[in-house]
Amino acid sequence: ETGVTQTPRHLVMGMTNKKSLKCEQHLGHNAMYWYKQSAKKPLELMFVYSLEERVENNSVPSRFSPECPNSSHLFLHLHTLQPEDSALYLCASSQEEGPGGATDTQYFGPGTRLTVL
Amino acid sequence: GQNIDQPTEMTATEGAIVQINCTYQTSGFNGLFWYQQHAGEAPTFLSYNVLDGLEEKGRFSSFLSRSKGYSYLLLKELQMKDSASYLCAVPIYNQGGKLIFGQGTELSVKP
C-alpha cells in the first residue's frame, strides 16, 4: 500500500450505532488530519494530530472522538450521530516543522462516505 | 479572521484555456495551495505558491499576488478529464499544517 488509505470507503449507520473510521499513512509523515466535506461546503478541519498529540479539535461535537495510537494510524470513533453528520470524511497527512515552520503539502486519503439514517 | 473566495462553478470547452480565481484574506501569509478533486475521490495536490509570480507545471500554472490577496489557476489545452473541483487553500499563519479551504470551483469541460 502507498500513500494514505481509509476504511471503510462507504458506511451507513443508524443514529444509535457506534462505528469507527480508520486511516493509515505510508508516507512517514508526522502529522495527520480529519476533515469533513459536506455538499457545496468547504472542507472543514476537524482534528489535527502532530507527533501523535492532538493539537486542534476545532469545536467538533463530542459524538466524534479521534484516536491516534501512532504516527501512521488515525481513527475517528462515531457514536449517536445525527443525519446532518452525513458527509465525506477525509483523512490527510503531512510532514510538519511545527508552529512557525513552513507548511508542507497534505496528502489525502480517498475518504469514507458516511450516511446516517 | 481568514476568508477564501472562489467561483462556485465554471464551464469551458475542450482544448480551451480556463482561469480559476481565488481571493483570500488572512492575518499573516504562509503560502497558497491548489488541489484538484474528482467526484468521489481524494483531493490531489496541484501547486503551492509562496512567492509572487507565475509557476508553470505542464498544462497547469498557478499565479500569486500577495499584495492583492489573489491567486489563479490556469489550465491550458483543456481535456475532458480536467472536469473536477479545484480547491484553493491557505495555511493558518504560524499554526503548522492547519489549512483553510475555499468552497471549491466545479469545472465542467464540454466537448
Please state, rounded to an integer, the average pLDDT across all residues of chain B.
93
Scanning A69-98 for CB atoms below 8 A from B yields 90, 94, 96-98
Between A71 and B61, the higher pLDDT residue: B61
Contact (CB<8Å) A106/B45:
yes
Judge: B96–A113 Cβ closer than 8 Å, yes or no: no
The nearest CA of chain B is from the CA of A44 a distance in Å of 8
Question: Strand B9-13 relative to strand B3-5: parallel, antiparallel, unpaired?
Answer: unpaired
| Confidence band of B101 (pLDDT split at 50, 70, 90) | very high
Distance CA A58, CA A78 (A): 16
Reference A1, options A114, A93, A109; nearest CA is: A109
In order, the DSSP letters of A41-109 are S--EEEEEEETTEEEE-TT--TTEEEEEEETTEEEEEEES--GGG-EEEEEEEE----TTSPPPPPEE-
Max avg pLDDT among A38-42, B54-58, B91-95: B54-58
Overall average pLDDT of the B7-35 stretch: 94
Over residues B75-97, the mean pLDDT reads: 89
b or e along B39-52 (b: 16 or more beta carbons within 10 Å of the residue's beta carbon)? eeebbeebbbbeee
6-45 in A: which are within 8 Å (CB) of B? 31, 33, 40-43, 45
d(CA B104, CA B102): 5
**pLDDT tens-digit readout, A19-70:** 999 999 999 999 999 999 998 789 999 999 987 677 777 789 999 999 999 9
pLDDT level of residue A1 (50, 70, 90 thresholds): low
Q: Quick one: CA dihedral B75, B29, A95, B37, positive or negative?
A: negative
B1 contact A CB<8A: no
In this structure, are residues A77 and A67 in contact, taking their beta carbons and an 8 Å threshold? Answer: yes
Which residue on chain A is closest to B8 by alpha carbon? A40
Question: Could you report the per-residue pLDDT of A74-106, keeping only the tens digit for each?
Answer: 999 999 999 999 999 999 999 887 665 566 889
Residues of A in contact with B35 (CB under 8 A): 108
Taking CA–CA distances from B33, the nearest residue in chain A reads: A105
Q: Does B3 reach chain A within 8 Å, measured CB to CB?
A: no
Please report the pLDDT score of residue B63 as a whole number.
97
CA torsion A89-A94-A97-A99 (nearest 10°) is: -10
- d(Cα B43, Cα B92) in Å, to the nearest integer? 19
Q: Classify B105 as helix, strand or coil.
A: strand
**Largest CA-CA distance found in chain A, in angstroms, rounded:** 42
pLDDT tier at B85, thresholds 50, 70, 90: very high
State residue A116's pLDDT score.
Answer: 94
Q: What's the grid cell of residue A103?
A: 507548511
The pLDDT of residue B27 is above 90: no
Residue A114: pLDDT band (50, 70, 90) is very high
CA nearest to B45, candidates B67, B73, B18: B73
